[in-house]
């Protein structure tokens, strides 16, 4: 675990001071505690182990075992930390924090179920620990995020990585062909080993992309930048001429804190770095990231006013070469009582950071933070696969793109220690394949005109071939209307959307067009016995006919009402059917359909239904082509079958009378009528878009509506 994360250290070793013991044994433990306190966790391990070997008391040995586990946790050797914490927990040391520390490393090691149980055990004794409760609740999120990862694709960049810690990349050129990384690999400027990690003190390295798109072996910057101390986490201005980075200083007895240093590129060489005056020595000021204009700097600190261990702060200035004003803590929405670190600034209103205090997957997780319209920060976990059960931090982006690099300590395919991974969010691809068929025959329709219009202004045309098929490419975050036209058929349409879809998808659509040549039944038009008043459910069904008439503005229709052959006493079947047909016409007029386009006619029992293939498939006692006349029904063997036949005869239909209707003062061609549909569809799409903008943040999505009664439209989503 590299020093720039070690500055987030938990105060664990001194938390559990042991009781008084013999002088020599006590001196050993005191020395180990002091070594831990100055951040030399690696060196502290051997001192604790020596103290353990001299100790005979069981309880005292368990306390030392816990402290050894803390050391391994701090150097990010979570597997060994798990081993030591497990010993303490199994031997029932009466220290509640042991369960918490054990749960934390179990979670980092991907053992979520076991971690959840240890959090539960800890919360029994410490129910008010909010951070522990958040960690416990996040166990359920880990399972969900791992099972349903985001679309980001990640990969270890072998050219960057060594068996040592390699972390916090930074672009150093506008074309993204130069990259700075921090590393504790062999060959560092200082000759001493770091007491916290057992590795070299970190330096800043540069690597370049060659003509074959391969990164060169990283080379250290010169000693102007790299010192005998830890140097790393750089930020470089867009023009490549200014660099800010972190330097952490130590001596044998004292943690001297961290500073942000600044250097300028002069004649292709970096100038001697100067410290940015933000706080006094011994305070941590680290991890700089600036806006492109260099007027705002985000950074990490534990200075007075911090909410947790390490917080993210910002400072602003009036000009790029001027002094920064007083630092400002980003507040409790960003900062928790734990640690928030490694900011990467995209703009004044958008940045990324790592935290082990917000609900996450393990150690440090990477989060996105943006300012909403109310000027409040909104936090979003980057989830799997960017985040893992281990530490994930130090993310950078190519400008205006969802690609870049980040650091992770995950064990999969690791060369050792922290590694740098690439990430990219691949473009979402949506394809629509469909066909146009006849409602009467279910055969495909050749030569049908298909139009696709989108809420983004898309307008595409396609004419079906002999297979009746069509294809379109769809865009992400767009609502669509699909319309099909063919002479002699009612127009058909359907709506689809890619709004909110997180993965690529293929859509399979079927547009079913109804031919003029056959009357079209209106389903669910219901009346009470011997009455013609429309029931409420009939009105809902007729709204689909209203839509059909609006989509086919050049047709006029006859509403046809039929009764069965049984007479009514109050009036003739013919009169009853006429009244019923007129009730439908009256309803359509009330919805804005012109009287000129509608004709009501009751046929009574004079036109019994002819059984088609669909009815024959539904009822095995009918055959296609049978006419449900009175003599036919009388010969049916069962009363139930006779009643079904009567029900089939009681129906309301419409048929097209004309397809060249021209309203007074309106365009009159068929093409004009088609354009009216498209214009109306565009307006509907824009209304949906405006509603979505108004409801932004609520997750509401306008429902997908299908076509009217003049043919149906079917849409299937293929994985």
**Would you state the pLDDT for residue 18?**
44
529 pLDDT above the threshold of 90: no
**Six token digits for residue 400:** 């205006």
Separation of alpha carbons 198 and 573, rounded Å: 99
Task: Kindly calculate the radius of gyration of the chain based on its CA atoms and give it in whole angstroms.
Answer: 37
122 pLDDT above the threshold of 80: yes
**Would you state the pLDDT for residue 532?**
85
Separation of alpha carbons 7 and 10, rounded Å: 9
Mean pLDDT (the chain, rounded): 86
pLDDT, tens digit, 9 for 90 and up, residues 30-42: 899 988 887 788 8
Q: Which residue's entry shows tokens 């824009």?
A: 686
Give backbone dihedrals phi and psi of 702, rounded to 5 degrees, phi first. Answer: -55, 140
**Six token digits for residue 475:** 């865009």
**Would you state the pLDDT for residue 17?**
41
3-state helix, strand and coil shares in percent for the chain, rounded to the nearest 5: 25, 30, 45
**Would you state the pLDDT for residue 199?**
74
Q: Which are the contacts of 230, defined by CB distance < 8 A and separation ≥ 6?
A: 3, 4, 194, 201, 202, 246, 247, 248, 250, 258
Q: Which are the contacts of 10, defined by CB distance < 8 A and separation ≥ 6?
A: 70, 73, 74, 309
**Would you state the pLDDT for residue 711?**
54
Higher pLDDT, 416 or 23: 416
Provide the percentage of residues in the chain whose pLDDT is more than 90. Answer: 57
Whether the CB-CB separation of 85 and 102 falls below 8 Å is answered with yes
pLDDT, tens digit, 9 for 90 and up, residues 229-259: 899 999 999 999 999 999 988 766 566 789 9
DSSP E strand stretches across 386-427: 392-397, 403-408, 419-424
- What superfamily would CATH give domain 3-147? Tetratricopeptide repeat domain (1.25.40.10)
Separation of alpha carbons 163 and 146, rounded Å: 27
Residue ranges of the domains in the chain?
3-147, 153-424, 430-515+670-718, 520-658
Higher pLDDT, 179 or 668: 179
Give backbone dihedrals phi and psi of 214, rounded to 5 degrees, phi first. Answer: -115, 140
**Would you state the pLDDT for residue 559?**
93
Separation of alpha carbons 409 and 356, rounded Å: 14
- What superfamily would CATH give domain 520-658? OmpA-like domain (3.30.1330.60)
**CATH number, span 153-424:** 2.120.10.30
415 pLDDT above the threshold of 60: no
List of long-range contacts for 590-597, beta carbons under 8 Å, 24+ apart: 591/542, 591/543, 591/546, 592/546, 593/546, 593/549, 594/663, 596/556, 596/661, 596/663, 597/549, 597/555, 597/556, 597/557, 597/661
Please tell me the least confidently modeled range out of 5-9, 330-334, 382-386: 5-9
Q: Which CATH number fits domain 430-515+670-718: 2.60.40.1120, 2.60.120.620, 3.90.650.10, 3.30.1360.120?
A: 2.60.40.1120
Q: Which are the contacts of 270, defined by CB distance < 8 A and separation ≥ 6?
A: 221, 222, 224, 225, 243, 263, 264
Separation of alpha carbons 710 and 523, rounded Å: 11
Please tell me the least confidently modeled range out of 303-312, 666-675, 709-718: 709-718
Provide the percentage of residues in the chain whose pLDDT is more than 70. Answer: 87
676 pLDDT above the threshold of 90: no
Separation of alpha carbons 398 and 175, rounded Å: 9
Pairing status of strand 449-454 against strand 459-463: antiparallel
Average pLDDT over residues 620-636: 92
């Amino acid at each position: 675990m590299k020093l720039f994360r070690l500055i987030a250290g938990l105060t664990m070793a001194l938390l559990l001071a042991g009781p008084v013991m013999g002088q020599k044994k006590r001196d050993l433990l005191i020395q180990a505690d002091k070594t831990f306190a100055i951040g030399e966790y690696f060196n502290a391990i051997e001192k604790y182990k020596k103290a353990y070997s001299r100790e005979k008391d069981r309880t005292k040995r368990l306390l030392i075992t816990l402290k050894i586990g803390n050391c391994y946790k701090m150097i990010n050797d979570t597997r060994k930390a798990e081993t030591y914490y497990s010993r303490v927990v199994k031997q029932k040391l009466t220290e509640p924090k042991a369960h918490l520390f054990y749960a934390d490393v179990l979670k980092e090691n991907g053992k979520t179920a076991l971690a959840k149980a240890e959090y539960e055990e800890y919360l029994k004794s410490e129910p008010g620990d909010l951070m522990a409760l958040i960690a416990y609740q996040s166990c359920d999120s880990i399972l969900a995020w791992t099972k349903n990862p985001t679309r980001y694709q990640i990969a270890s960049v072998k050219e960057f990585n060594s068996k040592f810690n390699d972390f916090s990349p930074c672009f150093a050129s506008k074309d993204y062909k130069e990259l700075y990384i921090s590393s504790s690999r062999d060959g560092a400027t200082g000759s001493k080993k770091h007491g916290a990690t057992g590795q070299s003190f970190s330096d800043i390295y540069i690597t370049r992309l060659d003509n074959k798109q391969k990164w060169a072996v990283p080379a250290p910057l010169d000693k102007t930048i790299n010192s005998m101390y830890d140097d790393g986490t750089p930020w470089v201005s867009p023009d490549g001429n200014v660099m800010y980075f972190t330097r952490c200083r130590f001596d044998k007895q004292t943690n001297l804190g961290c500073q942000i240093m600044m250097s300028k590129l002069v004649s292709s060489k970096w100038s001697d770095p100067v410290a940015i005056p933000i706080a006094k020595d011994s305070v941590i000021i680290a991890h700089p990231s600036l806006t492109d204009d260099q007027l705002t700097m985000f950074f990490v600190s534990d200075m007075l006013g911090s909410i947790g261990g390490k917080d993210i702060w910002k400072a602003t200035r009036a000009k790029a070469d001027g002094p920064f004003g007083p630092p400002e803590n980003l507040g409790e929405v960003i900062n928790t009582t734990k640690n928030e670190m490694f900011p990467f600034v995209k703009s004044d209103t958008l940045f990324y950071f790592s935290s082990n205090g917000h609900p996450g997957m393990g150690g440090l997780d990477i989060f996105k933070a943006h300012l909403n319209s109310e000027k409040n920060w909104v936090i979003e976990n980057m989830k799997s696969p960017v985040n893992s059960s281990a530490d994930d931090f130090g993310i950078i982006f190519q400008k205006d793109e969802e690609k870049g690099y980040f650091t992770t300590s995950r064990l999969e395919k690791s060369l050792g220690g922290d590694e740098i991974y690439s990430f990219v969010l691949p473009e979402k691809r949506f394809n629509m394949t469909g066909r146009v068929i006849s409602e009467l025959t279910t055969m495909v329709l050749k030569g049908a005109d298909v139009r696709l219009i989108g809420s983004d202004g898309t307008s595409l045309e396609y004419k079906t071939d002999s297979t009746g098929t069509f294809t379109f490419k769809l865009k992400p975050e767009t609502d669509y209307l699909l319309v099909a036209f063919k002479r002699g058929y009612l127009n058909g349409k359907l709506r689809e959307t890619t709004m909110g879809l997180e993965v690529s998808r293929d859509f399979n659509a079927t547009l079913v067009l109804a031919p003029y040549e056959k009357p079209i039944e209106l389903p669910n038009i219901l009346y009470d016995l011997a009455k013609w008043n429309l029931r409420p459910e009939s009105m809902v069904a007729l709204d689909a006919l209203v839509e059909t008439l609006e989509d086919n503005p050049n047709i006029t229709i006859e509403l046809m009402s039929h009764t069965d052959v049984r007479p009514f006493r109050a009036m003739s079947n013919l009169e009853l059917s006429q009244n019923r047909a007129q009730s439908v016409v009256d309803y359509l007029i009330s919805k804005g359909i012109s009287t000129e386009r509608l004709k009501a006619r009751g046929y009574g029992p004079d036109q019994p239904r002819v059984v088609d293939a669909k009815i024959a498939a539904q009822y095995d006692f009918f055959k296609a082509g049978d006419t449900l006349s009175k003599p036919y029904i009388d010969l049916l063997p069962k009363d139930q079958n006779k009643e079904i036949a009567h029900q089939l005869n009681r129906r309301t239909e419409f048929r097209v009378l004309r397809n060249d209707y021209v309203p007074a003062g309106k365009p009159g061609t068929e093409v004009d009528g088609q354009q009216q549909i498209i214009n109306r569809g565009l307006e509907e799409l824009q209304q949906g878009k405006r509603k979505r903008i108004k409801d932004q943040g609520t997750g509401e999505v306008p429902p997908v509506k299908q076509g009217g009664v003049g043919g149906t439209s079917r849409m299937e989503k293929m994985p």
